[in-house]
Amino acid sequence: MALDPVIQTFITESTELLQEMENALLELENSPDDKDIINALFRTAHTIKGSAGVVGVEHVERFTHAVENILENVRQGKIKITNDLIELLLNCHDHIAKLVEMATSDEPLSEDFKSTEDDLQKQLHVYLDAVSDRRIKTQTKEPVAREPEFDSELNTSSGKTVKNKNWHISLRFGRDVMRNGMDPVSFINYLSRMGEIISLTTLTDTIPSAEEMDPESCYLGFEIDFKSDFDKQTIEDVFEFVREDCKICILPPRSRIERYVHLINNLPESPLHLGDILIKGGALTPSELDEALQMQDVETVSFDDGQTEEHTRKIGEIFVDEGMVHPPVVDAALEKQKEQKEASSRESKTIRVDTVKLDQLVNLVGELVIANANINQNAQRIHDGGLDESTSALTRLVEDIRERAMQVRMVPVGNIFNRFQRVVRDISRSSNKDIELIVSGGETELDRNLVEKINDPLMHLVRNAADHGIEYPEERITKGKPRKGVIRLNAFNDTGSIAIEVSDDGGGVDHNKITNKALDRGMVRPGQVLSEKEMYNLMFEPGFSTAEKITNVSGRGVGMDVVKRNIEALRGTVDVESHEDSGTTVSIRLPLTLAIIDGFMVGVGASFYIIPLDMVIECVDLAEADRRVTDKRNYFNLRGEVLPYVRLRTLFRENGGKTDYESIVVVQATGRRIGLVVDELHGEVQAVIKSLGGIFKHVEKVSSATIRGDGTVALILDIPKIVESMGGVEIKV
Amino acid sequence: MNVNVEKSDGLSRLQIEGEMTVFYAAALKKDLLDNLADCSNLDIDLSQVSEMDTAGFQLLFLIKREAGLSDKSMRITAHSPATLSVLKLYGMDEEVL
Amino acid sequence: MSKTIMAIDDSASIRQVVGITLKKAGYEVIEANDGKDAMDKLTGQKVHLIICDVNMPNMDGIAFLKELRQNSNYKFTPIIMLTTEAQEGKKQEGKAAGAKAWIVKPFKPEQMLAAIEKLILP
C-alpha cells in the first residue's frame, strides 16, 4: 500500500507526541509522583511505538518499545521516578526524535548513532532487569491453572492412531459469546476458508425449552471434520477470540485413539450420539469407536500432567455444565474513568490541516482582497447607488473572510516556549547553575509560519541567557542575589505586532568587555565614544561574542548576528537593554502575519507608498509657512514636541508633479517617532504583501510591495529602517 | 427488523424484514412464538432478511422444534442470500428448510 | 452492501493505515479520535464492527466499551481492541468488560483483516 502520506502523518504526530513527552518529563521532575503526568507520559511512548509499528518504521518501534516498557513499569509503581531516570528518558526522547526524523530516509544508521542507541538500551535494561528479577520470583509462586493439554504428544510411543487424515474439531460455544459481539457462524465461515469442511454437525441439544431459552445466549456446539494443510497453531488461532469462553478441542490428523476417548469424555453429549457424529463425519471408523468406548470405561491413558483426577471421571460426572457454565462477568473493581480533563477534551474538536492548504487559502484571500479593491474603484467611477451598496457589503464580507483566514493560521506562541524548558534545564545541569525559566504570555497568537521561524532565534537567545547571562550560584550569592537565576520568556500583543522578550536577571553586559572586544576586532576606533545603544548594537555584529569560555551551549561568534538577521527577515526588530549585575532583556518585535497588512496609503508624485497602519500615529497638514521654515532644519513642531521628519520625495528621489500642499504622517517604530512628508493622503487600505524579488533584496527602506486594485504597484515602507536611519525621538511613556 | 403477518384459515404467513440478529432476538422470539401459538400452520418468508446471525438461526431452529412439539407445521417458504448462507455453513439448509 | 466498521484510535497514522486497509478490503469506514468522539459519532446507524484502541485520552477503550454496551443499538456490536503486549493489566480489565478480541500492536494489515473476518461475515 502507498504509505508515504501515512509516514508524513506519522512524523507530524510523533513530533507532537515527543513534545508532550518532553513536557511531561520536565513536569515530572518537579512532581515525580503525579499519576496523571505518568499516564500522559506513558501514552506518548505507547502511541509512538504503536504507530511506528503499524506504519512500519521499525527502528522507532524497536527503540520506543523499551521506553514504553519502562514507563509501563513506572505506571504500575514497579520502577520509581528518579532524576537519573528522567535524565535517561530525556536522552531516549532525543534519540527517538532523531529516529523519527530519519523515518523517511533509507540510509543505514551511522555507527555513532548505533552506539548511542546501544548505550541507551543498556541503561534501560538495567531498570528492566531489576524489575523482571522480582517478577520471576513472584510468578513462580502462582500455579498456572490450565486446561489439560488434550493433544500433548508426550506419549508418542504408546497407543494406536486412528486412520482419519482430517482434523477433528469440537466446539461448544459459551453462552455469552453473542452478547460479547461474537458470532459462531463467522468463525466457522473463516475456518471454511482455510481448508475444506468435510463434515459439520451442528449440535442443538442444549437449546432449552421455548420459555427458558434466552434468545441472546448461544447454545450451539459443532463437530467438524476438516481437511487442511495448515498447522495446529494456525487452526487454533481461528478461535483465539473465543478460546476463553468456549470448549474447543482440536485433534490433528491421525491422532491417537485415546484422544478421542478423552474427547468423548469431556463433551456433554451422550457417547453414542457423539459416536454417530464421529463416524458420520469420518473421524472414526466404527471399530475405532468401539475400541474407544471400551477404553472410556477404564480411562487409563496417562496424561502425565498431574491432573489424573480430571481424567478418571466418568461421562456422567463430566456431563453437567462442564465448560458450559461461565464465570459471571466480573465487573467489579472497574472504576469509572470519567474524570477527563477539560483541556484534553478540546483535542477532539480540532482537525489537522496541511499548512500548504492554509497557505493556498490565504493567498486566494489575498487575491480576493485585491479583486475587491478593483471592484470598489470601478464602482466609485460608476456612481450607482445600488452598486455602491453591493460593493460595500462585499467589502465587509471580504474583510471578515480575510480576518478569519488569518486567524486560522494563528497559533499560540506558547507551543514553542515550552521547548525551552528543556534547554534551560540541560544547561543548568551541565553548567552547575541553578536556573528557572518562567514563561508568560504563551497564549499570544502568531502566524504559524512566523512561529516556526522564530524558534531558532529564540533558542539562541535563551541559550545565551542561560549560558552567559546567568551567573554561577556562588557568584550570585556574593552579589547578594538569590541563588537561583531566572530567565523570563514573555510574549504580548503590542500595537499590531507581537513582542517577545527574553530577559534574565544575570550579570548583564559588561560594557568594558564589549568595548574592548570591539577594539580588538577593529569594529570601533580607539577613543571613540559609544552610546549605550550603539554598544548593544555591536553585539549583533557578525563575529562578535563576548563569552570568554567557549561552552558547548552557545558556541562562539555565530549567534547574535544570525538572530538579528533572522528577525529582520521576518520584518521584525531586535533590541537589547542591559544593566550590569541586574540582567539583560532582548526584545523582539514581529508583525502578526507575513501575508497581509493594514496599511495607510500615501502618494508622492505619481507613486504610491504604503505605511503599515499600526505604525501611523497621526496625520497633520504641513502649512506653507511651516514648509519654508522646516525646509531648513528638518525638524518640525508637533504641539510642542520636536520631531525630525523626512520627505519621501527626497528619500525616493521622486520628481514628478510637485504640489503646494504637503502632509506629514507621524509614524512610530521601535519606540521612536518621526514625520514623513508626503504629497497626498489616500487613506487606509488592505495590502496583500508581495515580496520583492531577489534583485530588490538590498533596497533599503522598502520591505515589500503590493498590487493595487488598478494593477499598479505600491511600495510598502520599512518604517523601522527609516526611523533607525533618522534617529527619531524617543518617546517617554 | 419487522415482521408482517397475514392470516387465513389457521395459516399464518410471516414475512421477516431486515436483520435477524442478536440485536432483535428478544423481539423476534416473541413474534415467532406468539404467531405460532395463533395458528396451526406457519409459513415464514425470509426473502427480505438482510442479515442473519447465530441468534437468528437459533430462533428458526427453536420455532421449528416448537412447531413439531405442538404438532403444527412450520415451513420456510423463501430465503434470502443472507439466511441461506448461514444455514449452509451450519449444515442445516436441508433440515430447517 | 458493504459493511461498516468504525476505527477508533488517537493516533492519526494508525487511523490512516486502518482506514486505507479497510477501504481497500471493501468496508465503509467511520473514524474517531477517541472514545468520546466515537460515542458522538454513533448516532444509531448500523455499525458492523468496531476497532478500538485501548489507551486514548478523553475516553479510553475500556470506558468506551462499557458505555457502548449501554446503548441498545450497539449492545452486541463486535469490537476488536488494539493494545500492546505491555498492557496485560488492561487486557484483563477489558476481557472482564466483555472485550474478547484483541490485536496486539504492531499488527500487519492482513492480521487485522483476518481478525475482522473471524468476527463478521463478509
Please answer whether residues B82 and B54 qualify as being in contact, where contact means their C-beta atoms are separated by less than 8 angstroms.
no
> Which of A172, A189, A213 should be substituted to probe chain B, the one whose Cβ sees the most B Cβ atoms within 10 Å?
A213
Instruction: Tell me the shortest Cα–Cα distance from A240 to chain C, in angstroms.
Output: 8
Size of interface A-C (CB pairs under 8 A): 157
Co-location of A402 and A486 in the same domain: no
Chain C contact present for B27, CB below 8 A: no
Which chain C residues have a beta carbon less than 8 Å from that of A331?
96-97
Predicted confidence (pLDDT) at residue B4 exceeds the cutoff of 50: yes
Cross-chain CB nearest to A68 (options C66, C86, C107): C86
How many residues are recorded in chain A? 733
Which chain B residues have a beta carbon less than 8 Å from that of C3?
none
Q: Which residue has the cell 505507547?
A: A46
Asked if residue A227 belongs to a domain, the reply is yes
Q: Cα dihedral sign for A634, A638, A641, A643?
A: negative
Q: Which residues contact A412 (CB under 8 A, 6 or more apart)?
A: A442, A443, A444, A445, A446
The answer to whether the CB atoms of B23 and C121 lie below 8 A apart is: no
H-state helical runs in chain B: 25-37, 54-69, 81-89, 93-96
**Cis peptide bond N-terminal to A542, omega within 30:** no
pLDDT tens column, C3-56 = 999 999 988 888 888 998 899 889 999 999 999 999 999 998 999 999 999 888
Q: Measure the CA dihedral A104/A110/A115/A117, to 10°.
A: 0
Predicted confidence (pLDDT) at residue C80 exceeds the cutoff of 90: yes
> Would you call A594 helix, strand, or coil by DSSP?
coil
Co-location of A550 and A404 in the same domain: no
Please answer whether residues C99 and C79 qualify as being in contact, where contact means their C-beta atoms are separated by less than 8 angstroms.
yes
**DSSP strand pairing (B41-52 vs B11-20):** parallel
Co-location of A472 and A380 in the same domain: no
Asked if residue A341 belongs to a domain, the reply is no
Q: Which residues contact A666 (CB under 8 A, 6 or more apart)?
A: A616, A617, A618, A619, A620, A638, A643, A673, A674, A675, A676
Measured distance CA(B64)–CA(A207) in Å, rounded: 12
Asked if residue A146 belongs to a domain, the reply is no
Which chain C residues have a beta carbon less than 8 Å from that of B85?
121
Instruction: Tell me the shortest Cα–Cα distance from A447 to chain C, in angstroms.
Output: 24
> Would you call A303 helix, strand, or coil by DSSP?
coil
Last residue of a domain, one of A393, A411, A429: A411
DSSP state of A690: B
Name residues 196-215 of chain A within 8 A of B (Cβ): 199-202, 204, 207, 210, 213, 215
Please answer whether residues A453 and A498 qualify as being in contact, where contact means their C-beta atoms are separated by less than 8 angstroms.
no
Q: Which domains does chain B have, with CATH numbers?
A: 2-89 (3.30.750.24)
Co-location of A202 and A101 in the same domain: no
Q: How far is CA A684 from the centre of its chain?
A: 40
Cross-chain CB nearest to B22 (options C73, C76, C121): C76
Co-location of A27 and A133 in the same domain: yes
H-state helical runs in A528-572: 532-538, 560-569
> Which of B51, B53, B86 should be substituted to probe chain C, the one whose Cβ sees the most C Cβ atoms within 10 Å?
B51
Chain C contact present for B26, CB below 8 A: no
- Name the domain count of chain A: 5
Helix orientation angle between B81-89 and A184-192, rounded to the nearest 10 degrees: 70
DSSP state of A696: G
For residue A25, the domain's CATH number is 1.20.120.160
- For residue A653, how many other CB atoms are within 10 A of its CB? 8
Which chain C residues have a beta carbon less than 8 Å from that of A334?
62, 66, 93, 96-97
Instruction: Tell me the shortest Cα–Cα distance from C113 to chain A, in angstroms.
Output: 11
Measured distance CA(A715)–CA(A704) in Å, rounded: 6
Please answer whether residues B42 and B67 qualify as being in contact, where contact means their C-beta atoms are separated by less than 8 angstroms.
yes
Asked if residue A323 belongs to a domain, the reply is no
Instruction: Tell me the shortest Cα–Cα distance from A193 to chain B, in angstroms.
Output: 11
Cα B27 to Cα A214, B16, B32, B75, distances in angstroms:
11, 12, 9, 20
Co-location of A93 and A189 in the same domain: no
Q: What type of residue is A414?
A: G
Measured distance CA(A77)–CA(A89) in Å, rounded: 17
Which chain A residues have a beta carbon less than 8 Å from that of C76?
178-181, 216
Co-location of A557 and A434 in the same domain: yes
Instruction: Tell me the shortest Cα–Cα distance from B61 to chain A, in angstroms.
Output: 8
Measured distance CA(B31)–CA(A476) in Å, rounded: 87
Q: Which residues contact A631 (CB under 8 A, 6 or more apart)?
A: none
Minimum Cα–Cα distance from C122: chain B residue:
B82
Asked if residue A531 belongs to a domain, the reply is yes
CA atoms within 13 A on the CB side of A692: 20
Please answer whether residues A715 and A610 qualify as being in contact, where contact means their C-beta atoms are separated by less than 8 angstroms.
yes
For residue A505, the domain's CATH number is 3.30.565.10
Phi, psi of C61, rounded to the nearest 5 degrees? -60, -35
Name residues 12-31 of chain C within 8 A of A (Cβ): 12-14, 16-18, 20-21, 24
Q: Which residues contact A489 (CB under 8 A, 6 or more apart)?
A: A417, A420, A437, A438, A439, A440, A458, A462, A500, A501, A502
pLDDT tens column, A338-372 = 333 333 344 445 677 777 888 788 878 878 887 88
Burial class (CB in 10 A: 0-12, 13-18, 19+), B41: middle
Measured distance CA(B36)–CA(B71) in Å, rounded: 11
pLDDT at B30: 93
Instruction: Tell me the shortest Cα–Cα distance from B66 to chain C, in angstroms.
Output: 27
Measured distance CA(C78)–CA(A314) in Å, rounded: 38
Q: Which residue has the cell 527503540?
A: A63
For residue A677, the domain's CATH number is 2.30.30.40
Share of chain C above pLDDT 70, in %: 97
DSSP state of C44: S
Which chain C residues have a beta carbon less than 8 Å from that of B21?
76
Cα C92 to Cα A375, A505, C95, distances in angstroms:
68, 54, 5
Cross-chain CB nearest to A185 (options B28, B53, B59): B53
Please answer whether residues B46 and B34 qualify as being in contact, where contact means their C-beta atoms are separated by less than 8 angstroms.
no
**DSSP strand pairing (B11-20 vs B2-8):** antiparallel
**End-to-end Cα distance, chain C:** 10
> Would you call B14 helix, strand, or coil by DSSP?
strand
Q: Identify the H or E element spanning C108.
A: none
Enumerate the β-bridge partners of residue A440: A490
Minimum Cα–Cα distance from B62: chain A residue:
A210
Chain B contact present for A539, CB below 8 A: no
Chain C contact present for B48, CB below 8 A: no
Please answer whether residues A253 and A227 qualify as being in contact, where contact means their C-beta atoms are separated by less than 8 angstroms.
no
Measured distance CA(C101)–CA(A238) in Å, rounded: 11
Co-location of A571 and A444 in the same domain: yes
Co-location of A559 and A655 in the same domain: no
Q: Which residue has the cell 468435510?
A: A198
Please answer whether residues A73 and A127 qualify as being in contact, where contact means their C-beta atoms are separated by less than 8 angstroms.
yes
pLDDT at A296: 59
Instruction: Tell me the shortest Cα–Cα distance from C87 to chain B, in angstroms.
Output: 31
For residue A253, the domain's CATH number is 3.30.70.260
Please answer whether residues A160 and C95 qualify as being in contact, where contact means their C-beta atoms are separated by less than 8 angstroms.
no
User: Cell digits for A383?
Assistant: 456612481
Q: Which residue has the cell 501611523?
A: A616
Q: What type of residue is A349?
A: K
Minimum Cα–Cα distance from C72: chain B residue:
B23
Asked if residue A330 belongs to a domain, the reply is no
pLDDT at C41: 93
Asked if residue A347 belongs to a domain, the reply is no
Q: Which residue has the cell 509560519?
A: A449
Instruction: Tell me the shortest Cα–Cα distance from C58 to chain A, in angstroms.
Output: 6
Q: Which domains does chain C have, with CATH numbers?
A: 4-119 (3.40.50.2300)
pLDDT-flagged residues of chain A (< 50): 1-2, 135-158, 298-348, 548-558, 732-733
Q: Which residues contact A372 (CB under 8 A, 6 or more apart)?
A: A391, A394, A395, A398, A709
Helix orientation angle between B54-69 and B81-89, rounded to the nearest 10 degrees: 80
Q: What type of residue is A520?
A: D
The answer to whether the CB atoms of A241 and C115 lie below 8 A apart is: yes
**CA triple A540-A467-A83, angle to 5 deg:** 150
Cα B63 to Cα A75, B47, B56, distances in angstroms:
53, 18, 11
Cα A95 to Cα A89, A98, A428, distances in angstroms:
10, 5, 21
CA atoms within 13 A on the CB side of A657: 10
Minimum Cα–Cα distance from C32: chain A residue:
A348
The answer to whether the CB atoms of A181 and C12 lie below 8 A apart is: no
Co-location of A170 and A278 in the same domain: yes
Last residue of a domain, one of A112, A141, A170: A141
Q: What type of residue is A445?
A: E
pLDDT at A322: 31
> Would you call A609 helix, strand, or coil by DSSP?
strand
Cross-chain CB nearest to B28 (options A199, A201, A215): A215
Between residues C88 and B49, the one the model is more confident about: B49
User: Cell digits for A207?
Assistant: 437449546
Chain C contact present for B54, CB below 8 A: no
Q: Which residues contact A374 (CB under 8 A, 6 or more apart)?
A: A709, A710, A711
Cα A233 to Cα A144, A152, A229, distances in angstroms:
21, 13, 12
Q: Which residue has the cell 561574542?
A: A545
Instruction: Tell me the shortest Cα–Cα distance from B72 to chain A, in angstroms.
Output: 15
3-state helix, strand, coil in chain A (%, to 5): 45, 20, 35
Q: Which residue has the cell 522507532?
A: A60
Co-location of A725 and A692 in the same domain: yes
Domain that holds residue A538: 413-591
Co-location of A420 and A549 in the same domain: yes
Neighbours of chain A (3+ CB pairs under 8 A): B, C
The answer to whether the CB atoms of C76 and B21 lie below 8 A apart is: yes
Chain B contact present for A179, CB below 8 A: yes
Measured distance CA(A593)–CA(A688) in Å, rounded: 11
Asked if residue A150 belongs to a domain, the reply is no
Chain C contact present for A345, CB below 8 A: yes
The answer to whether the CB atoms of A344 and C57 lie below 8 A apart is: yes
H-state helical runs in A208-305: 232-238, 257-266, 271-280, 286-297
